[in-house]
Amino acid sequence: MFSAIARIFRTPDLRRKIGFTLAIIAIYRFGAHVPTPFVNFPNVQSCIDLTSGTDGLLSLVNLFSGGALLQLSIFALGVMPYITATIITQLLRVVIPHFETLHKEGQAGQAKLTQYTRYLTIALALLQSTTLVTVARSGQLFGVTGIPECTQLLTNDVWWAQLLMIFTMTAGTGLVMWFAEMVTERGIGNGMSLLIFTSIAATFPGAMGAIWAARGFEIFLLVMAVGLVVVALVVFVEQSQRRVPVQYAKRMVGRRTYGGTNTYIPIKVNMAGVVPVIFASSLLYIPALIGQFNTPTDGSMPPEWVTWISQYLTTGDHPLYMAVYFLLIIGFTYFYVAITFNPVDVADNMKKYGGFIPGIRAGRPTAEYLDYVLTRITFPGSIYLGLIALIPLVALATVGANQNFPFGGASILIIVGVGLETVKQIDAQLQQRHYEGLLR
């Protein structure tokens, strides 16, 4: 293992790529702590210490920004606008035929879709930064009342100061997007995934330190042991796949023979990745957000429906919240897999190039068989995603951890997935140069 790491640093090209990636990550983490103009930074830090900074409605976005959101830094929005824009672009392929056509055009079409994603990212950044500044100005950012530090987060709330804050946060999102593209082009791994990885990993020490301080060293060791087991299980499931065998018939083109090969279609147990967890979390935030904006600020009693929402749909340790969250993840898993994997297109492409599944006729029977396999594989995958997503909520109820508990939910899925993919890329580049990779 150590000899493989030494080979990485002895390879000039690979050493340069890793150094460039680490430099971009360092700049990104530095910007996450630079406050936006007109932010009362001491009050923000005091309120984060008083409320733990992770129990509000914006906790998921705060997780993906590495804690920069609640600090109102120049990179407060982090990568969330780009993630949202990418998901919207994928969903629009089903609604708008032009997007699906671009997706099938190869590199030129993908470049056009990427450009659309960039424009949508900036538009979403403008919308989200406006919402964030408005919420911070109203004193509802941390979802608490009665604490002066949490209601006076801005030093100047005139319109031009708010406009400057909005433009600064939007420009920060554009810079983060450029960082990610530069890492993808000149560094190692996928840039956006690595920035998300960095943001989530930055919250690990604080989350584990909070558990140690609140529950003691014994509970801390227990959480670490459970965390290692969860990581091992996530690695096992993320690498698991159903390989559907495919054979290609021999074809004579002139004097040459083509085809006659055996391959397979890999269908992963978790084809949807972390997207269903993000969808379900975002959808569950909507009732709580509506209830928060309908809560009277004069101290009077809120409406009954607002009280019901705050009692059942805003606390992660409530059984009803957990059940709704679990069912939403299962539903969104099937929804997203149905959008991203089209059995009819796969069957048509196989038929076009003379491929077939042994024992299954080409064309419509192949599409029906792939749909049958996909449905059966997606069910355990959706159950797996739901159980992983419930780990932070169970930890919240048992050991008093916050909702961004590191060993569960979106955080562990992203950490493991990005880590595996980056290690594979380093291993592939080592094999190209030394005929011996990082992994054995």
- Structurally, at CATH architecture level, domain 1-202 sits in Orthogonal Bundle (1.10)
Question: How confident is the prediction along the chain (440 residues), in pLDDT tens digits per residue?
Answer: 566 677 777 777 888 888 899 999 999 999 888 888 888 878 777 777 665 544 444 566 677 676 677 778 888 888 888 888 888 888 888 788 888 888 777 788 888 888 999 999 999 999 988 988 888 887 767 666 666 666 777 888 788 888 999 999 999 999 999 999 899 888 888 888 888 888 888 878 877 777 788 778 888 888 888 888 888 888 899 888 898 888 887 766 666 666 567 888 889 998 888 888 888 877 877 777 676 666 665 566 667 777 777 676 766 667 888 888 899 999 999 988 988 888 888 888 888 877 888 888 888 889 999 999 999 999 999 999 988 888 877 776 666 655 556 666 778 888 888 888 888 888 777 777 665 555 55
Best CA proximity match to 201, nearest among 425, 418, 432 = 418
Residue-level pLDDT at 338: 87
Residue-level pLDDT at 149: 65
Domain ranges of the chain: 1-202, 203-407
CA dihedral 149, 61, 230, 265 (to 10 degrees): 180
Q: Are 113 and 165 in contact (CB under 8 A)?
A: no
* CA distance linking residue 329 with residue 320, whole number of Å: 14
Residue-level pLDDT at 53: 42
Do the domains spanning 1-202 and 203-407 agree at the CATH topology level? yes
Cβ neighbours of 159 (radius 10 Å):
7
CATH superfamily of 203-407: SecY subunit domain (1.10.3370.10)
Residue-level pLDDT at 54: 44
Q: What is the DSSP letter of 156?
A: -
| Half-sphere exposure in the Cβ direction for 74 (13 Å, CA) | 16
Q: Please give the model's pTM, rounded to 2 decimal places.
A: 0.80
Residue-level pLDDT at 56: 45
